[in-house]
Amino acid sequence: MKKIVTQSVLALAILAGVVAVWIAYVPAALPLLARTGLLHVLGIDAAAMDKPATDKGRPGGSAAGPVAVIAAPAVMLALNDQITAIGDGRPLRSVTLLPEVTGVLAEVNVNSGAYVAAGAVVATLRDEAQRIARDRALLMLGDAQAAMTRLETLGNSGAVTDLQRQNARLVLQTAGLELREAELELARRRIIAPISGWVGILAVEPGDQVTASTALVQIDDRAQVLVEFRIPERFVARIAEGDAMTATPLARPDQMLQGHISAIDNRVDQTSRTLRVQATLENADDTLRAGMAFSIALSFQGDEYPAVAPLAIQWSSDGSFIWVIRDGKAAREPVKIMQRNSDTVLVAGNIAAGDLVVTEGVQSLRPGAEVAPRVVTPDEAVVTPAVLPATTTEG
């Protein structure tokens, strides 16, 4: 029985020593151990352990001299609020050509995938009947013009009445209108490209019977590609035409394209509470196509917050905090993390630009402990972790 008691006392002593070392080098452990009641069981005074580090005999106290740390001044950076969305691309202009009348295709003058210029004849329908009608109208117009000329010649002798002149003039005008109608019917047999662009895959061939609802060819002007996407309504007041954006094709995630906002819808969708936005991407190398999916990114510059190195952020049971040097002593400041970047952390708290924030050596700090900081620039604190200077004590 005595042996068991001895072993128990020895185990408690070892455990108390381990806990004391843990508290000495990990200050954040003290509140956690106090709540679990382990300090009371081991007979450790939590209040005494948490006294300012200026007490004699404590790490960082006056007996050991100031604590050597690495510190960097806090800088103010703007909070970047970013939107990501998925958008669908479409060409700058696109038309689908349909014949105006029913007929049989006589010629198709373009190939699938070819480039066609505006005004080019894409296809023609058989037009024999329309050519005959045009020639007949020409004959009628010529005869009416000849009759009008004879009446004007006889009119000088007084043998022609005003009524005859009016009838002849009416016949001439009617013949002219019939010729125009015949030429219009003939022109309707020619399908002309209204824009310049690239032809899609043709679905018709010469000899096919087509109607006014038959799609002959689709032409896309993809010199620029328009991307439509939606953003949450809370960004309505922060977006404007001309704002820069980036787009990444989902099929080519390594390609990042620069564009700008070209159009904003006039109302928010009541169902999704989103606003439709249109962006324009240049396509000079003709690598983009209509229907492609894009990942859209928009950045908005927000309020400014102090930026510190990621190594400066510490955690306790109460949340995140940093160590700030004020009047040569360490002060523990609770902070709220606003944004994490690759090399900085933006925080909100009782910290201003220029305040020295400890980035290395935080394990030895206590509130009120005297420190001997080696100040580095914010870039040095992030890119290359500094080496703590050697601490010397007088013996």
Say if residue 118 is in the same domain as residue 233.
yes
60 domain residue, yes or no: no
Confidence (pTM)? 0.56
Say if residue 352 is in the same domain as residue 216.
no
Least trusted range by pLDDT, from 129-143, 212-226, 366-380: 366-380
Which domain-ending residue is among 188, 220, 241? 188
d(C-alpha 335, C-alpha 197), whole Å: 57
The pLDDT value recorded for residue 236 is 87
266 domain residue, yes or no: yes
58 domain residue, yes or no: no
Please determine, for residue 192, whether its predicted confidence score (pLDDT) is greater than 80.
yes
d(C-alpha 219, C-alpha 78), whole Å: 46
d(C-alpha 371, C-alpha 67), whole Å: 4
Say if residue 293 is in the same domain as residue 213.
yes
335 domain residue, yes or no: yes
Say if residue 200 is in the same domain as residue 105.
yes
Strand positions, DSSP E, 53-146: 67-73, 75-97, 103-108, 115-116, 121-125
Which domain-ending residue is among 253, 287, 302? 302
d(C-alpha 191, C-alpha 212), whole Å: 12
Which domain-ending residue is among 251, 276, 302? 302
For position 335, which CATH number holds?
2.40.420.20
Say if residue 6 is in the same domain as residue 137.
no
Tokens of residue 77, six digits: 């950076």
Nearest alpha-carbon partner for 329 in 46, 32, 60:
60
The pLDDT value recorded for residue 385 is 45
What number is the average pLDDT over the span 146-165?
75
What number is the average pLDDT over the span 322-347?
90
* Span 17-56, pLDDT tens digits: 666 665 665 555 555 555 565 555 555 555 545 544 444 4
Nearest alpha-carbon partner for 186 in 142, 128, 138, 141:
128
200 domain residue, yes or no: yes
Tokens of residue 248, six digits: 């990444």
By the 8 A CB rule, do 207 and 105 touch?
yes
d(C-alpha 79, C-alpha 24), whole Å: 36
62 domain residue, yes or no: no
Please determine, for residue 322, whether its predicted confidence score (pLDDT) is greater than 50.
yes
What phi, psi does 201 have (nearest 5°)? -75, 125
Say if residue 203 is in the same domain as residue 248.
yes
Say if residue 210 is in the same domain as residue 287.
yes
For position 180, which CATH number holds?
1.10.287
* Span 70-85, pLDDT tens digits: 999 999 888 777 788 9
For position 241, which CATH number holds?
2.40.30.170
Q: Is 364 helix (H, G, I), strand (E, B) or coil?
A: helix
Say if residue 45 is in the same domain as residue 23.
yes
- Which CB contacts under 8 angstroms, 24+ apart, belong to 23-32? 23/49, 24/59, 25/59, 25/363, 25/364, 26/363, 27/316, 27/363, 27/365, 27/366, 28/314, 28/315, 28/316, 28/317, 31/316, 31/317, 31/318, 32/317
Share of the chain above pLDDT 70, in %: 78
The pLDDT value recorded for residue 159 is 65
* Total domain count, the chain: 4
Say if residue 212 is in the same domain as residue 280.
yes
Q: Which residues have a Cβ under 8 Å from the Cβ of 56 and sit 6 or more positions away?
A: 62, 63
Say if residue 92 is in the same domain as residue 159.
no
Tokens of residue 356, six digits: 């020295």
Say if residue 226 is in the same domain as residue 244.
yes
261 domain residue, yes or no: yes
Please determine, for residue 273, whether its predicted confidence score (pLDDT) is greater than 70.
yes
Structural domain span for residue 45: 2-49
Helices (H), the chain: 2-25, 29-36, 38-42, 46-49, 128-155, 162-187, 378-383
Say if residue 225 is in the same domain as residue 258.
yes
User: With left for phi above 0 and alpha for psi between -120 and 50, is residue 242 left, alpha or beta?
Assistant: left
258 domain residue, yes or no: yes
